[in-house]
Chains A and B, each alone.
Chain A
């Protein structure tokens, strides 16, 4: 009840926000309704015609990809489309949120964010224990502030626990850690302030180093082995300061740096208790857990980052997860929430952030509200053609990730079903039967290590000339097998083809075209080519 009072207050004080509050808020109104009301009010204001609502097939494929990280298989598709229950969308959402693939997919998204495809630091590519831990957070729906805090607190070790792996990336690089923490968890970018005062932003170089001071005493300690794998823990030295000499370009021989103490971004400096007189600097011993310091700067940072007193955390999370489902942040880019980068729907963002925090950072609740909204369930047909519509008047178009592509290819071609039917133990690679290295190279990292895009043309060279054919299985249980051996009419077969590959029935012209294509030659070759043509097409490549 209290939550909606906050909404009222926010909106009431914003006189310019015409149309944002023409309906009475009721206690029964969910966040999804507030979203729709605010987004639709903006359409009126901006004189925008939205796309129609998404049909069942469009919704089905989209929500599967967004919640489970893969498209539905043929049976799931047919069942959903045939279901007459008016509440079937909400029920599907509930089911997918409880599906183990939800946790896997969320873990994929956050793992990529936290580590990128090529993380810095030694052994950070061997982080399955971190990934398992992360998956567990989503499976158990641990509140976001708690697991984000656990990553930053980094208790335990990288094998038995997992979280310390985040800092392993930034061994001896507190400045890099500072950039990552502020960008990921606070949605702000300080990297320019690392080398010089930023002309357009409120934070200065000393603010950057004030934040860096919180993590400057951290070190990576090897505390044991599990098989071939090193176990790392994060130790914090009780003393030591980050030295600041002004802009790098002005550093001259003989200058001494000034120590910079820990200070929260645009917030307070932290008062540290003095070190004891007989203090001796700690040297971490290998194979022993590093002792906790008498005063932990790192833990001060964790408390502040995930606490109520910092203005960034809830907004950054609300905006980031919003963008995950709606394509574009209300502040966009989502990790540049600086005063100079204004939100498109400021009141809505306030509500989202308050609600998310008010629900104790329950991400499942928040995501359920987002995907149940009419806004999420718009069609991608019509509209301006923008991939990320600014006013959310059409669904966004986003490419499938490398993991989504591999999983979806395997699902739709029946490779997965045939694999199961064969009873053989499948290979463990997530990208099987394709080579993960290639899938990641062409689809997993659209930009090279220095932020440059590496080519749309290149992915087509792979799709056209590479080994994609290995996923178009003809084994028993596969789609190709069903098409070749089935006794249905050719129209029914084309329907099966489309329901399997694109989760929708074929249109009349598609039935004709494909049937004629298959009839024109050897059926096995022709079905195979038809499958290739569809799974390399835009309709498959994107979540729309």
Chain B
């Protein structure tokens, strides 16, 4: 049942504790379940229906209950960068800095048990140097490991029909996979110096958006970023959005001056991308750190910039469309999840509040459940924040 997300008043429903390395990715699964992955490669699954646990004694930052994770997905040996769930919510795809992509079948049985730290330690216990509390969680291994990347796999997306998976790494390589078999469909490379920051697929998996960037080699040696649409079946370039936007854009120039043509638009990189449900537009989330990050909304057919959506101080981290395509959800380094009206660019909701001192904590990723009953954000302070809407 369709909801008007912008008219909701979501309430903080769960603060799922994920102490230790930073949570970096989050995805909703079938049956009210949720997955999050962290910077060490750990993936935890929670059931929203599970009994809530009592908040940590003396915690100032916890105002909603957590619960114990029901599974831990093991195998990654370095950070999880992105998580995608299949349309039926029964498979999970994870991209990792360990150069691999793993496919997890959530219906398969668990294979073991592990002790892991999830609850943040109370201040008193920390002061007393007590060992951090652990819980026992059943573990599961991957159904498949997709090898083919030679560097950090930093970007991952699944087509809405669930048939095609696309991934990109820090060696400029992009691979399109058959999601069912794990076979490679096509691969191509971006500009050789670049890192793939973000990928997205249209609902049928036919067209890909790929954002490439890299950190400068020196103040005066700034290789060009790129944002392009590709034919995801043949690996041929279809449209260069930066060329459309900036006629003077020269991808071969690495000088400081040349970088000024695209620098403001790209800032620290287009860190996330999402096609609208009708595939007519694509939203590009701008990472920042220095400035505000917005989301550029482009027309897919012409590549033209339609408008900017939303704003996060110090940059965005993730972007997703609402089911009806009327809103974008964004997270950022301002400790907020924001819901912005696509038609007029006005902010409809702000979830979370800036925290910290001069620099805020990050919400590193966002997700919404298929039925839009829940919205979630991965919070580097060691939480997965979950809000409940009024949707039934």
Contacts and interface: CB of A to CB of B under 8 A. Distances in A.
- A–B touch (CB < 8 A): the answer is yes
Interface of A: 175, 243-246, 248, 251, 253-257
A248 B357 CA distance: 9
A319 to B, nearest CB: 32
A255 B356 contact: yes
Q: Interface of chain B, helix or strand or loop or mixed? A: loop
Contacts, number: 39
8 smallest CB-CB distances across A and B, nearest first, come from A245-B357, A254-B381, A257-B357, A253-B381, A253-B380, A253-B361, A243-B357, A254-B61
A394 to B, nearest CB: 42
28 contacts: A175-B358, A243-B356, A243-B357, A245-B357, A245-B358, A246-B357, A248-B359, A251-B356, A251-B359, A253-B22, A253-B361, A253-B362, A253-B379, A253-B381, A253-B382, A254-B61, A254-B355, A254-B361, A254-B382, A255-B356, A255-B357, A256-B60, A256-B61, A256-B355, A256-B356, A257-B356, A257-B357, A257-B358
A256 B359 CA distance: 11
A256 B22 CA distance: 17
B357 A244 contact: yes
Contacts of B362: 253
A48 B379 CA distance: 68
Contacts of A255: 355-357
A256 B355 CA distance: 6
A154 to B, nearest CB: 24
Nearest to B19: A254
Interface residues of B, number: 15
Interface string B366-386: 000000000000011110000
A257 B60 CA distance: 12
Contacts of A246: 357
Contacts of A253: 22, 356, 361-362, 379-382
A257 B355 CA distance: 7
A251 B61 contact: no
A255 B355 CA distance: 7
A351 to B, nearest CB: 42
Given A245-B356, A253-B356, A254-B381, 6 more contacts: A243-B357, A244-B357, A245-B357, A251-B357, A256-B356, A257-B356
Query: Most chain-A CB neighbours within 10 Å: which of B120, B356, B361, B362?
Result: B356
A244 to B, nearest CB: 6
Nearest to B383: A254
Contacts of A245: 356-358
Nearest to A252: B381
A245 B356 CA distance: 7
Interface string B129-172: 00000000000000000000000000000000000000000000
Nearest to B62: A254
A257 B357 CA distance: 5
A229 B339 CA distance: 35
Query: Most chain-A CB neighbours within 10 Å: which of B355, B359, B380, B381?
Result: B355
B155 to A, nearest CB: 24
